[in-house]
Amino acid sequence: MNRTSSTSIQRQLQRFFILTLVITVLIMGAVWSIYNRTLLEQEAERVLIVESDIIGSAARPALMFNDQRMASELLRAMKFDPDISVVKLFTSDGDVLYTYTADDVSPELGKAIDFRSNPGSAFNDGSLHLYRTVTHKEDTVGMIYLESRLNYLQESQNASALTVIMVMAGSLLLGVLLASTLQRRIAKPISSLASVMHKMASKSDYSLRAEEYAYNRETSDLLSGFNRMADEIQNSFAKIEEKNLQLQESERRFRSIIEQVPMPVLISRKSDGKMLFYNQAVAQLLAIDPSASKVFHTLNYYRHPEDRSKVIGKLRDEGTLVGYEMEAVKSDGTPFWISLSVSQIGFEGEEVLCSTFMDITDQKEIEKRLEVEVSERTQELKSARDELQSTLDNMMDVYYRIATDGSVEWVSSAITPLLGYSVDESIGKPMQLFWPDSPPFSEAVAALSANDGVMMNHEIQLQHRQGKTVWSSISAHLVLDGNMEAKAIEGVVRDISLLVEAEERKQEMEKKMAHVQRLESLGVLAGGIAHDFNNILAGIMGNAELAELNQHSNLPVDRELKSIINGSVRAADLCRQMLAYSGQGALIRESVNLSSLVKETVHLIDVSVSKKVAITFDLQADIPPIFADKTQMQQIIMNLITNASESMDEKSSGEIRVSTGSVHAGRRELDSPFMEEKRPEGEYVFLEVIDNGCGMDEQVLGRMFDPFFSTKFTGRGLGMSAVLGIVRSHGGTIHVESSPGSGTRFRALLPVYLEAPAVEVVDGDTDHEELADNNLTILVVDDEAMVRSIFERMFNKLGFKVLLAADGEEGLRCYREHKHQIDAVFLDMTMPKMDGRETLSKMREMGIKVPVVVCSGYRGESVSSQFDDAPPDAFLQKPFSLQSLQQVLGICLNGD
């Protein structure tokens, strides 16, 4: 809307306020007139009702008796309100009894009406008409009619109208005054503000300010707020002007810097390549004449125009372009290489490309020369590598390189004759394919690092492609990166199969030599045993002949029989020593404290040790127990101490040191040159005897455990060989260290007691078992007639019946025929046709229920180990006495 044709806010406010005030006053006057008339009519009706009630009460007797005279006198005597113009009395029948009219009203004779149907009041023709019934004791006796001219009501109404008009006029005048005041306090400041704003907008004069009126807080705040806003706008425009000046100066400096910078900077339009800005470096590099008015385009400086499409495509895909190498041309057509970097920016309101580039022609020439040199050097290295590869391929050893993942990274062609794999088949394969026991790469690195990163000549077993084992010697070293971290393992593998075979042949030869020596020792053993047995047999045979002669002469034979028994005991003891030498002696095992046993045993050999020899002890008090034959352990202790004592020079004093203890033994401690058995690693107890005697050379040391071998005048026993056999039978091992003049050190290792096996039944000194029933039948199966005879006579001596069988088949047949009579079976282990193990198995199949006792000259453990499925109930060691026979039988039959 045009400001000149619009009405001011001041006049709009005046018109609106006056119009609103007039309408409000008129509405209020009309409402007041209506309300006031209603009040006056109600008051007139109330007054007329009171008048009618008074007249009715006075006229009730006249109405009751229809006395017109009384009614006339009464009405005439009463003084009515001036506004009452007519009073009529009606009888109960509706007839007019009497009519009263005012003096200034013409008389009106009304007709009789039915007043019952017209009670109440009504305004008509400016008069108030009222009908009221007159009752007596709830009976209607008549009706009274009053008519009021309402002169008083009209006068009151006129007076009220005059009052309302005066009030409305006063209100209108007051409104005009108020409108003028409001116009001055509200419209004038706003009009002033509008005028200032119009001038400020039309003249851009931001120094203009509105006059601040203090009529009210709102207009004052509005004007002061506008002035503050004008101050801020003026300050902002001042700052903007200052910034514009600074930007112009910055742009001038930037252009100056860009113009002087040696790096070419070019801004071009993205759509058509038009050059919008370029510095002096661009002009110099592209040979552009800045004074020329020609419009330049970047497309003219691409040697290959399709390169621009590539640049735009890379910008679209990647957003920026850095270091893009391409060929360009100068204005004179000279080609050269540049390294181009481009980014998209806004420039002068449009999207442009900002490019920087540098001349890399010299660099490209250098790169070409370097490529030629690298190619030549690569060819030289390839030739050298081929020569090295040829050298490695012609070597018998395998050279390899292992990556960090444990796979073969490189290997020489010698792997083919060694393991049957080609080089291509080997590369990338895990080392476990060739060396199943190879450790993981990390463990191999740790092991090499602990050994200064090098391992030399470690013997391993490789796996050939065909499955056979190839003995090899491997050497390795770590390959480290710049951070001293292992990045590979390199080394060489050498085939030592021939060396291993030679070593095996050597060991086989040594075994044969040892076998020859054992045969020699066996000859010595046989000679020694024959010597001892001949002496024993001489005593037995001599005493037997003397007993026979004395019996014919009726002389006593007790002495001779006792000598025969003693000789038999000596022969049995010699057999036990032989079994101990072989490690198969009979054992009575129990939990043994080796330290305590040493203390007990030393007192038994004090008399056999020279007084010049001092024995010291270093015994572990809390030593773990061993499960061993106590007697045989004492035999080891006595033999070792006695042997140490005999090695001393009789003319000088000596010292023997006896030690016990426990140790966790590994493979090195358990492997002994005197024993072929491999003992398991674990907890062991040791017995160590050290002397400072004469010592032994290697020859003596190699034969010291041979039977009957001694450096004394003559070998008469199985002492040291029995020690070896006892240690072997107890699952232990033994070491000996000695040299001439330096003494000897014996060290026996015995396993710690973990769990005791079943105790064997052997000959002992226990009392005879009392058998519950002597009326028993015993089946004896043995291929030796003399042994069967001994069994028969001994069982007969005990009061038993005996059935004899010469071999296993005969024993089965005898058992089948007499199985309901047989109460126990004594079965020899070694027999022709059918041995004891097979015979017992057959008897089990036949459902044998009686006890079976196996008899043998071997120790019980070796015999019992042959019965996996059907073990015997007891074992009887040969030779045996009547006492041991009775003991075994009592255990089987009585269940003791």
Over the stretch 257-301, which tens digit does the pLDDT of each residue have? Answer: 666 777 788 888 887 888 887 877 888 778 787 666 567 777 778
Q: Which residue has the tokens 């002068």?
A: 348
- Lowest average pLDDT, out of 366-370, 434-438, 561-565, 725-729, goes to 561-565
- Residue 476 and residue 448 in contact, taking contact as beta carbons nearer than 8 Å: yes
Q: Which pLDDT score, from 0 to 100, does residue 571 have? A: 75
- Residue 286 and residue 300 in contact, taking contact as beta carbons nearer than 8 Å: no
Across the range 382-391, mean pLDDT stands at 74
Across the range 398-425, mean pLDDT stands at 89
Over the stretch 516-555, which tens digit does the pLDDT of each residue have? Answer: 655 655 565 566 666 667 767 777 777 787 787 777 877 7
For residue 210, the tally of other CB atoms under 10 A from its CB is: 21
Q: Which pLDDT score, from 0 to 100, does residue 632 have? A: 82
Residue 378 pLDDT exceeds 90: no
Q: Which pLDDT score, from 0 to 100, does residue 827 have? A: 92
Dist CA 623 CA 595 (whole Å): 7
Using DSSP's 3-state secondary structure scheme, residue 321 falls into strand
Across the range 865-880, mean pLDDT stands at 78
Q: Does the domain formed by 777-894 have CATH 3.20.10.10? A: no
pLDDT bin (cut points 50, 70, 90) of residue 451 is confident
- Lowest average pLDDT, out of 571-580, 649-658, 667-676, 785-794, goes to 571-580
Across the range 696-722, mean pLDDT stands at 65
Using DSSP's 3-state secondary structure scheme, residue 489 falls into strand
Residue with the larger pLDDT of the pair 640 and 720: 640
Dist CA 295 CA 522 (whole Å): 121
User: What secondary structure does DSSP assign to 173-227, as a single string?
Assistant: HHHHHHHHHHIIIIIHHHHHHHHHHHHHHHH--TT--PPPP-S-HHHHHHHHHHH
What are the C-alpha distances in Å from 848 to residues 649, 805, 842?
A: 64, 17, 9
Over the stretch 833-852, which tens digit does the pLDDT of each residue have? Answer: 888 888 888 888 888 888 99
Return the CATH architecture of domain 9-162.
Answer: 2-Layer Sandwich (3.30)
- Residue 652 and residue 743 in contact, taking contact as beta carbons nearer than 8 Å: no
Cα 743 to its chain centre, rounded Å, is 61
Cα 269 to its chain centre, rounded Å, is 59
| Sign of the torsion formed by the C-alpha atoms of 345, 349, 351 and 357 | negative
CATH topology classification for 395-493: Beta-Lactamase (3.30.450)
Dist CA 806 CA 180 (whole Å): 161
State the Cα torsion 223-228-229-234 to the nearest 10°. Answer: 130
- Residue 493 and residue 485 in contact, taking contact as beta carbons nearer than 8 Å: no
Q: Which pLDDT score, from 0 to 100, does residue 576 have? A: 66
Dist CA 308 CA 327 (whole Å): 11
Over the stretch 1-15, which tens digit does the pLDDT of each residue have? Answer: 444 445 556 666 667
Across the range 126-147, mean pLDDT stands at 81
- Residue 647 and residue 712 in contact, taking contact as beta carbons nearer than 8 Å: no
Over the stretch 761-808, which tens digit does the pLDDT of each residue have? Answer: 444 444 444 554 567 899 999 988 888 888 898 889 888 999 999 999
Residue with the larger pLDDT of the pair 44 and 471: 471
- Residue 695 and residue 711 in contact, taking contact as beta carbons nearer than 8 Å: no
- Lowest average pLDDT, out of 194-208, 723-737, 873-887, goes to 194-208
Size of the chain, expressed as the number of residues it contains: 896
Dist CA 583 CA 718 (whole Å): 12
Across the range 160-172, mean pLDDT stands at 75
Query: What pairs with residue 665 in β-bridges?
Result: 682
Q: Show Cβ contacts of residue 736 under 8 Å, excluding neighbours closer than 6 positions.
A: 674, 701, 704, 744, 745, 746, 747
Q: Which residue has the tokens 């120790």?
A: 859
Type of residue found at 467: G
Residue 56 pLDDT exceeds 70: yes
Q: Does the domain formed by 261-359 have CATH 3.10.50.40? A: no
Provide the token pair at 516.
């020859």
pLDDT bin (cut points 50, 70, 90) of residue 215 is low
- Lowest average pLDDT, out of 312-321, 628-637, 725-734, 749-758, goes to 749-758
- Residue 193 and residue 210 in contact, taking contact as beta carbons nearer than 8 Å: yes
Residue 688 pLDDT exceeds 90: yes
| φ and ψ at residue 837, rounded to 5 degrees | -65, -45
Burial 700-725 (b: 16+ CB within 10 A, else e): ebebbbbbbbbeeeebebbbbbbbbb
Dist CA 173 CA 152 (whole Å): 32
Q: Which pLDDT score, from 0 to 100, does residue 292 have? A: 64
Q: Which pLDDT score, from 0 to 100, does residue 887 have? A: 87
Q: Which of 739, 721, 886, 717 is nearest to 800 (CA)?
A: 886
Q: Does the domain formed by 583-751 have CATH 3.30.70.1450? A: no
Type of residue found at 765: D
Please tell me which of 205-219, 473-487, 751-765 the model is most confident about, judged by mean pLDDT. Answer: 473-487
Across the range 118-143, mean pLDDT stands at 76
pLDDT bin (cut points 50, 70, 90) of residue 104 is low
Quick one: 283 exposed, middle or buried, by C-beta within 10 A (0-12, 13-18, 19+)? middle
Dist CA 644 CA 637 (whole Å): 11
Provide the token pair at 880.
């045996």
Please tell me which of 147-161, 379-393, 592-606 the model is most confident about, judged by mean pLDDT. Answer: 592-606
Residue 813 pLDDT exceeds 90: yes
Residue 415 pLDDT exceeds 90: no
Q: What is the mean pLDDT of the chain?
A: 79
